[in-house]
A = this chain, B = another copy of it.
Amino acid sequence: MTNDLFLRACRREEVERTPVWMMRQAGRYLPEYRAIREKTDFLTLCKTPELAAEVSLQPVDLIGVDACIIFSDILVVPEAMGMELIVEEGKGGPRFPSPIRSRGEIEALGVPDPNSALRFVMDALRLARKRLDGRVPLIGFAGSPWTLATYMVEGKGSKTFRHLKELVYSNPRDAHFLLEKLARSVAAYLNAQIEAGAQAVQIFDTWGGILPPDEFREFSLRYIQQVLQLLRRNGAPVIVFCKDCSHSLEAIADTGPEVIGLDWTMDIGKARMMVGSSVALQGNLDPTMLYAPPEKIRQGVKSILEKFGKGSGHIFNLGHGILPDIPVEHAKALILAVKEESPKYHR
C-alpha cells in the first residue's frame, strides 16, 4: 500500500505524520459530488455500486485525504431488515413512514443476510478497493444499534426522541429486544464489509449522547460491545464514534475498539491521558471551524495537534461530518495544514 498512515495510526504504530480524513468527506460540499447528485437521487446513489465507488474516491483524488470511506447511509440496514425507507430531496431528511411502535413490529424485523439484501454495499466496496489500488485504505461503516433505533422508532429526525425514550423508560424489555436484533444485524453487516474489502470499520453512535450516562451504557454501549464481540476483524481496526458521550470514555475504551472517535466537545489531550494507553484517538476539530479562513483553520489544526502531543495514535478528523456549505478550498486547507504541521510531532 502506498499510504498506510491511517492504518498504522489506528494501531498506534509509528508514522511520519498524522493521517487525516473527514467524516462525510464524500458529500455535498464537493461540486463533483453535486454534479452526480443532480442526475441521481440519494438512495439510487447508495445502491449503484459504480456511482457509490466513484463518489467515495472523489475526496481521495480531489482533497488528498489519507483514507477513503465508502459512500453509503446507515439507514440501509433498517431498510434491509424490512422497513420502508423514504429519502426525498429537501424534505427534512430520510424517514420511515411506518415507525416501530410495538413488540409485534420488532418481531417482524428480520436479521438480513448482508451479502444478498445489502450486496450493493459489498459491490461498492470491492469496486472502490480495486480503484484505490492501494493508494489509501478503505473504511466501511455502520450505525450503532441505538442510533439506528432512534430513526426506526421515531420515524424521522427528532429533538426529544420522545417515542424511543418512552420505550426505554416504560418498556425496557422491548427496547432490549429491538437493540439485540440490531446488534446481530450490524455485526453481520460489518463482517461482510470486511470480507468485501473494508480495511477498517467505523461504528457511528450519533445519538448515544441523548441518554443519561447509565442508560447510555445499558442501551447503547452494551450493544456496541455485542457488535464488537461478534466481529471477525481479520486485522481491520474498529473505530467507535459516540457523539456527546465523553462522560463514558473509559467505558467505550473497555468495549475493545482500536480507535475512539471524539466529537469537538472533549479536549483530545485529556482524552489521551484517560484512554490513550489502550486506544488511538480520532478527531476532533469543530466542523464549523471550516467556515473560518484558511489561516484560522491552520491555527485550529495546530491547537489540536499540540493538545494530542508527540507520538502516534492520532488520526486527525473533524468532530462530526463536514457541513454541505463549506468551501472546498477550506477543506483542502485543513488537509494541507495537518500534513504540514504534524511531522514535528512524530520525530
Copies of this chain, tallied across the complex? 2
Q: In the bound complex, do residue B166 and residue A291 qualify as a contact, i.e. CB atoms below 8 Å apart?
A: yes
Partner of A160, one of B292, B296, B319, B323: B323
Interface hits, A211-244 → B, CB 8 Å: 211-215, 244
**Residues in chain B near residue A106, CB distance under 8 A:** none
Partner of A165, one of B166, B169, B288, B319: B288
Partner of A292, one of B170, B247, B264, B300: B170
CB of A109 closer than 8 Å to a CB of B: no
How near does chain B come to A173, taking the closest CB pair, in angstroms?
A: 13
Q: In the bound complex, do residue B265 and residue A212 qualify as a contact, i.e. CB atoms below 8 Å apart?
A: yes
How near does chain B come to A298, taking the closest CB pair, in angstroms?
A: 12
CB of A344 closer than 8 Å to a CB of B: no
Query: Given the complex of chains A and B, what is the CA–CA distance between A215 and B246 in angstroms?
Result: 17
Q: In the bound complex, do residue B288 and residue A161 qualify as a contact, i.e. CB atoms below 8 Å apart?
A: yes
Partner of A264, one of B162, B212, B286, B287: B212
CB of A266 closer than 8 Å to a CB of B: yes
Mask of A192-216 contacts with B, CB within 8 angstroms, 1/0:
0000000000000000010111110
**Residues in chain B near residue A287, CB distance under 8 A:** 160
How near does chain B come to A304, taking the closest CB pair, in angstroms?
A: 9
Most chain B CB within 10 A, of A247, A266, A267, A288, is at A288
Interface hits, A252-305 → B, CB 8 Å: 264-267, 284, 286-289, 291-293, 296, 300, 303
